[in-house]
Amino acid sequence: MRLQKIALSMAAVAVLAMPSAILAEEAPEEAPSTLEALDMDNWPFEVSGEIIGTYGVFTGDGTTHNPKRDANNEAIGHDAFDATRTELTAKLYLNGEVGEESSWHGELQFNKDWEGVDGYDNTRLYSQFDWLRELYLDTITGDMEWRIGKQQVVWGKADGVKFLDIINPTDYRHWGQDSMEDSRIPLWMLTAEYPVGDEGSLQFVYVPQVNVTNQIPGLYDPETGDAGQPFVPLGMDTMLGGYNGFKNIGPDMGRVASGFTAGFNGLMTIDEGFKNTGDPTQANGNQVMLGADGLKYFQAMTVNGFVQQADPSNPNNPNGDVNGLVTGMVANSGGLFGQINPDEPMAAVTGNQMLGGVVQSTGSTTNQFNGTLNTGNPTSMFDYMGDTTFATFNTFQGMNTKYVRELEDNDGTNANVGLRYSGATDGGLNYTFNYYYHYDNNPVIDVSWEGAAGQALVAQGRDGTFDGATGNPVAPGTAGSYQTTTMDLLNADGSVYNNVAEGAATMVFTESQNKINTFGTSFDYAIDNSFAPVIVRGEFVYDKGVKQPVVDLGKLAYGDFAGAFTNEDADFINYVIGLDVTVLTNLFVSFQFMDKWNLDYQDTTVSYDGNTQDYGKFTANSASMSMSNGFRKAEEHQIMYTFFLSKPFMESDVLRVNNLFLYENEDGGYWNRLDFEYSWSDSTIISAAWNQYGGDEYGVFGQFEEMSNVQGSVKFIF
């Protein structure tokens, strides 16, 4: 029995660990042996297991997409052959009988990865490395077969993609490198299967545990954004990353807004003619203090307008410093905008310098501004906010952010439920019809505002024409006026929230779940021919009510964060067609075509009052959207192809070599995995794999080109 081998090994280790003085003592003759004491022949279950050691290294240097940064905000990369995975996993499988009609199965798992960051370095609940991975009871009552407990349920016939295989969430920590079985997250559920006719069966699935979602790198720890985890997708880095993440940009933006408000209210100087008239053409070159109410001269001015007016090289501002709205800083600025002469103002300061000085002096550690405002090709936060008024920035003063998880309760009242009918024809066609009413495995992240007391606030754009001198509304076309959209935060009664009197506002990121309907069917059919039998298989899935991320760059341009990033309902048709054939005796060849068709895809242009240009509003690619790529549009048809080869070698087929190639049609991204598995003996298996990502750097797989790796593992079976 395998259990005897385990106990014998444990006994040997214990004996070798004993001090020599103890070994020298004569053991009592009546003492039973370890095996006799365990009396394993009478145990009601059997034990087997595996010990797996895995070591992996990067195949090249990399810095681009690593979310971890040093004190100077420089990306901390890696060198070729740096370790990416140093992992040890132990699994125990327990199996026992309960009476004549029932049996039970359990799987315990213990994991340690010395290269993993927090949350990815040890066994963790409700991930693929849960310590209690499975525990269920199989029983039969009449013709009904029941399975009750923590388990996996597999629907669908596709390889490498989970269109219909949706009962269990997925752990994406290694971005597809783990087998589908290993990457699934088992859930507590009940399944019942009843035979229908000679070839059919009806399966019922009831899942009361609904608050476990796909485990996406970057989302485990919202405070760090899982910094240092190599497979954090750009989409998650945009939300929670320490450098690019909105959650961390928010507080920095609040400090910058406070810095500008302080500057406008007394630390800056202004041209006297402009101060008196509000008209830049009336500037007289005489610099005077702004005064305590200095913000009013700029509250209707946008970031883009400020930078252009204060830029002597701007062709629309030929008089340079004379017509510049702000050309100097007084000594009591305290170095807010850089080092200055304590005895006189610092002249000829451009808007870019002013903006950069505020960002730097307030200790910003996030991607807010790279030194030159570029609204035409934005890569930093201020680039995207060129039409944001200083009145809006005044609303941001001292702003905070927080991340909230509002997941569903596992009380059974909102359980996921599903039905599957499986059938077959005399001609060899196997098919299923599936329905699942469930919470989407992908979580939803919404952006909203709340006041200092926790009350909900509503972001609303205020369109109008404003006097440059007073900030008051005026008639369109008035000299010295500006057409802008200012973003206000409103209380429940419609009044404007006053962050000075009522406290700083908080931008809230709320993770929640969304219930959808999934209708699906699958099939496989063998076609005999003179060349080789071909198996045709496929899945067709209709998802109704999925939340898609929609980005509105027009609203972001005037500072409406909550309005710029929303989740809207969409229906999807997902399908895959596959062909499998075995040629040359034992070479298995498989090809798949996959399409995710968004029936409610959005891609349009918008322009709000105050916008200086048309902006895009579109469905975003949740995996790869980033400030560095314009928040990456999704595709209406996200098409991918897979090509898989597998062949055994050597006597008794002890060596098997596989190669999987996945190609993204629109992005040109790809992932190629070459691996082999060698059975050294009945109890020892050696394997190795090379994972190469490439293509479009903003594709689902291309974004991880620098994370390409090779790895090897040894598995001991007992």
pLDDT at 659 over 80: yes
DSSP letters, 384-433, are HTTT-BHHHHHHTTT-EEEEEE-PPP-SSTT-EEEEEEEEE-TTSEEEEE
Q: Give the amino acid at 119.
A: G
Q: Are 636 and 582 in contact (CB under 8 A)?
A: no
Residue 323 domain flag: yes
The fraction of the chain above a pLDDT of 90, given in percent, is 64
What's the total number of domains in the chain? 1
**Quick one: pLDDT at residue 361?**
80
pLDDT-derived band at 7, boundaries 50, 70, 90: very low
pLDDT-derived band at 486, boundaries 50, 70, 90: confident
**Quick one: pLDDT at residue 40?**
54
Q: Which residue has the higher pLDDT, 6 or 534?
A: 534
Q: Which residue has the higher pLDDT, 425 or 314?
A: 425
| Residue 620 DSSP symbol | B
pLDDT at 11 over 50: no
The domain of 327 spans 240-398
Residue 289 domain flag: yes
Residue 195 domain flag: no
Residue 425 domain flag: no
Which residues contact residue 350 at a Cβ distance below 8 angstroms, ignoring those fewer than 6 apart?
307, 310, 311, 312, 313
Residue 391 domain flag: yes
pLDDT in tens, 538-587: 999 999 999 999 999 999 999 999 999 999 999 999 999 999 999 988 99
pLDDT at 133 over 90: yes
Return d(Cα 343, Cα 561) in angstroms, integer: 41
Indicate the average pLDDT of the chain: 85
pLDDT-derived band at 268, boundaries 50, 70, 90: low
pLDDT at 24 over 50: no
Q: Cα–Cα–Cα angle for 693, 699, 704, nearest 5°? A: 35
CA within 13 Å, CB half, 6: 16
The SS3 of residue 616 is strand
pLDDT in tens, 163-185: 999 999 999 999 989 999 999 99
pLDDT at 134 over 60: yes
**Quick one: pLDDT at residue 394?**
87
| Residue 331 DSSP symbol | G
Return d(Cα 657, Cα 689) in angstroms, integer: 10
**Quick one: pLDDT at residue 19?**
36
Return d(Cα 382, Cα 392) in angstroms, integer: 13
Return d(Cα 363, Cα 110) in angstroms, integer: 42
Pairing of strands 587-598, 534-552: unpaired
Residue 256 domain flag: yes
The SS3 of residue 644 is strand
Residue 225 domain flag: no
pLDDT at 449 over 60: yes
Q: Which residue has the higher pLDDT, 352 or 643?
A: 643
State the angle between helix axes of 246-262 and 351-361 in degrees (0 to 180), rounded to the nearest 10: 110
**Quick one: pLDDT at residue 1?**
41
Residue 274 domain flag: yes
